[in-house]
Structure 1
Amino acid sequence: MNLREELDDYQLTVRALSDRLVEAQTPIRVLDAVKWDDSIRQGFFDAHCKRLPQVDQAYYQSRPLAFDAEAKKREFQDIERDITRQLGQFNPVGQIMRRMCREYRMVIRMLEARGTADFGLISQELYGAATDAFHAGDPTLADLGLMLSDYLNNIADRSDLQDEPRTLTANQAVELLQSRLDGVFGEGEGVVRVFESDGILADAAAGADYIKIRSDAMFNVRDIKALEVHEGLVHVGTTLNGLSQPICTFLAKGPPSSTVTQEGLAILMEVIAFASYPTRLRKLTNRTRAIHLAEEGADFLDIFQFFHDQDYSQEESYSNASRVFRGSTPSGLPFTKDLSYLKGFILIYNYIQLAVRKGKLEQIPLLFCGKTTLEDMRTLRQLVDEGLVAPPRYLPEQFRDLNALSAWMCFSNFLNHLSLDRIEADYANIL
């Protein structure tokens, strides 16, 4: 698009401010800044898993950030000030961009605080805490984790629910996943690439237009389906939708508030696409429970033992425990980003349920416009109507035709009013 020809002065102003915001956040890579290198893992196992990993504030100081923190905070302050000057205090798109500026400054403060108590406190401000309630009087995330664990324990010994053997190599997983994503994003266009990588902690990780598969990981077909839905349809799809925005380019990048929304959307997609399974759900609940334990004072050894007691191998237990304390110290407050999955799922599910109840179905697909944040959804609807935001180009099948989703949510709205305790008592003689 030739911006000078296609956009009016107001749209050009929004686009220019949006581009500045995108450029300013480019060097901020939270997970790279907080991860522990392999020497920490090796030292822990050399000590026979009996000594806390050797991570303190000095360790992080030896791994400087990829940007000047003070200069970067001033840059976001300047952008925020220019947004107000050029768009006004109450301009809707300006309010979104100003909040993003404030969030990025908070992210920088968190990274500056690596290895200190402030790191965990700022993490809770950005991503939440396990003791947060969804609404007054409702269960907390910690309660949800325990509740789901109880349900999963009731079905844990069923032979018909055991995971299929993981016989697919990383190379086979790449071929199968690439084939599936070509059917979604276009074959032969190179829109989305899938390839092997040695440098990732998880089995897979999504980028702007690619998915990396860990070279030494093994998979089954169910894993591939989950990766297609979670990493492909949601994470890559929303990024591509954000990158195709002609004006609000900031939707291609997500601050922490969008992380909760995007991870929740990804888990919801796993559920409604029948791509989730008990082992996957247990992984998410265990992460939530581990963060809660750390918030209550558990250290790395306690969390390592917690995962080992859940039948994870020592390598898996270390990997999971290090996710909890990365950026912090092995006896400090946790990094709470992994709460985003279950927290986001509940928030997104409630949002869609309410949208159906109020007859505002047009709001639902807008979740995929880019790296959206739930609190911005009403504003995004306004921005789409004004032509500042383009509707999502890539949309999962379940959100293209809302018939089935609407029917499900209508029943769900009714079922929420039933008492499960009363139902359990009534069904005692037949179940």
Structure 2
Amino acid sequence: MSVPATIPAGLQRYADLDQRLLAAVKGIRILSSVAWPASLEDRMIAAYAKGQFSLPEVSYQAPDFSAERAELAAIEREAGYHDPMGEYLCRTAESWRIAAEMLEAVGTSNVTAPSIVLYGRPGDVIPGSDRSNLDAARYFVELSDELGSEMIADDVSVNLTAEQLRADLAKALDDFFGEPIISVEVDPELTAKAAAGATRIRLRGGTRFTEYDRHQLLAHEALVHSLTALNGRAQPVLASLGRTSPRVTGTQEGLAVFAELISGAIDISRLKRISLRILAIDMALNGADFVEVYQFFSHCGQSAADSFHSAQRVFRGVPLTGGAAFAKDNVYLAGLLTVHTFFRWALKQRRMDMLRHLFAGKLALHDVISLQPYFESGAIAPPRWLPPWMQHVHGLAGKLAFSLFVNRIHMGKVQAETLSLSL
């Protein structure tokens, strides 16, 4: 189905509201507003490596988003919930308004509550289960620790510099898209190992990357985050689908980690890292300060630099004395589990089309279901690009079908003797 040349009749009002939304949120930059200066990081990491612990001194410039919040509230009122497209705009505007309130409180514990509204809490129950995100995190950490000594020989020792990885990823992306659409850059100020936009991927300078890192960045950052942004930018009515709103963060990060899993780009150490961050958020919410959280990561085997960066992610924008946290890292594991469940549900319902629609832009799972009439009419265009593992839908269906069936096997009833006698 081709992208409509003009906005379909009756949808111009939503297109206008969408443009107003994009204009209102243009200056709301969540992660850059809570970022720490690289010079502080370098100094503190050197001290911590020597066992010289003190709380970092971080200052923030609190913005005034009162005008933006008023405009977003107006968009909510005008869009209304009586139509799926209006509902999408209402939910999206509301999430940006909550994010604006969160950033206006930067540097105080008042960041915590809105960040939990946007990203969830470690104790939240996993859909379709009686277990929590925190339970899942503990499971993956324990499993990784149990398997660790047996998997040393499988450790990936190939080290790539940021520059080497930059050149490698740039070539791979040019080959995939058929032209140089996405640039890859090295950024010494970047806190995370990597960050992706629609047309630019940044790598943290001065960092060494493994071959697993390369596979993860390609599957996660490039062929989910950048790819969905590019597809979203091409939408005829809802151009906001080209930008990650706070409310879709869980789905987008969950989809990106799922891409790692389904393409074989994730390892047990990666699952442990994202799980440890959830445990650390829980620690901080329960009173642990920055040094205590740093030491937690260090005792779990992370280097001084990695431990500092991991603790920093938990305390972005909040006081470092304990009792507060920035909850974004809650979404990686929770999102993975929920997206995985959604993929299995879609297969059971024989709705593989919904899985392709996930890549049409920056969508939440709820949007993929509620906006189906507009996918069917063509008002929301199908994705131009799909990651390789989604292009081979029969292979994906095979993996999901197997997953659906084996989940009926109760491991508590399985004994080694029974297995050895059955074959």
TM-score (norm 1): 0.91
> Relative to structure 2, which stretch is displaced further, 34-43 or 94-103?
34-43
1:202 equivalent among 165, 184, 192: 192
For 1:75, the equivalent position in structure 2 comes to 71
Whole-angstrom distance in 2 between the partners of 1:105 and 1:118? 15
For 1:378, the equivalent position in structure 2 comes to 369
For 1:414, the equivalent position in structure 2 comes to 405
Whole-angstrom distance in 2 between the partners of 1:173 and 1:424? 45
Describe the superposition over 1:222-279 as per-residue Cα deviations: whole angstroms up to 9, x where unpaired. 3211111111100000000001111111111122221100110011110111111122
Cα offset, 1:92, TM superposition: 1.1
Describe the superposition over 1:181-215 as per-residue Cα deviations: whole angstroms up to 9, x where unpaired. 112111xx321111222220122211221111222
Q: Percent same amino acid at aligned positions?
A: 32
For 1:281, the equivalent position in structure 2 comes to 271
DSSP 3-state at the match of 2:185: strand
Whole-angstrom distance in 2 between the partners of 1:426 and 1:105? 58
Whole-angstrom distance in 1 between the partners of 2:219 and 2:65? 36
Is there any run of 5+ residues in structure 1 with no aligned partner, and where?
A: none
Partner letter of residue 76 of structure 2? E
For 2:55, the equivalent position in structure 1 comes to 52
Cα offset, 1:132, TM superposition: 0.6
Superposition pairs for residues 346-425 of structure 1, below 5 Å? 346-424=337-415
* Contact kept in structure 1, 2:137 and 2:279, CA below 8 Å: yes
For 1:94, the equivalent position in structure 2 comes to 86
Cα offset, 1:356, TM superposition: 0.8
Cα offset, 1:400, TM superposition: 2.1
For 1:108, the equivalent position in structure 2 comes to 100
Whole-angstrom distance in 2 between the partners of 1:228 and 1:374? 23
* Contact kept in structure 1, 2:62 and 2:104, CA below 8 Å: no
Partner letter of residue 274 of structure 2? L
Cα offset, 1:345, TM superposition: 0.5
For 1:220, the equivalent position in structure 2 comes to 210
For 1:64, the equivalent position in structure 2 comes to 62
* Contact kept in structure 1, 2:220 and 2:256, CA below 8 Å: yes
2:247 equivalent among 228, 243, 257: 257
DSSP 3-state at the match of 2:371: helix
CA RMSD, Structure 1 to Structure 2 (Å): 2.3
* Contact kept in structure 1, 2:231 and 2:360, CA below 8 Å: yes
* Contact kept in structure 1, 2:11 and 2:237, CA below 8 Å: yes
Describe the superposition over 1:44-100 as per-residue Cα deviations: whole angstroms up to 9, x where unpaired. 855854222234xxx33xx232xx31111011112223324xxxx401101100111
> Relative to structure 2, which stretch is displaced further, 324-333 or 405-414?
405-414
1:155 equivalent among 147, 153, 174: 147
For 1:337, the equivalent position in structure 2 comes to 328
Partner letter of residue 72 of structure 1? E
Whole-angstrom distance in 2 between the partners of 1:40 and 1:322? 11
* Contact kept in structure 2, 1:325 and 1:332, CA below 8 Å: no
Alignment of 1:26 onto 2:26? yes
Partner letter of residue 333 of structure 1? A
Whole-angstrom distance in 2 between the partners of 1:104 and 1:287? 24
Describe the superposition over 1:336-385 as per-residue Cα deviations: whole angstroms up to 9, x where unpaired. 10111101101101011011111112111111111100111112322111
Superposition pairs for residues 115-264 of structure 1, below 5 Å? 115-135=107-127, 138-159=130-151, 161-186=153-178, 189-264=179-254
Is there any run of 5+ residues in structure 2 with no aligned partner, and where?
A: none
Whole-angstrom distance in 1 between the partners of 2:54 and 2:419? 49
Cα offset, 1:386, TM superposition: 2.0
Whole-angstrom distance in 2 between the partners of 1:44 and 1:234? 32
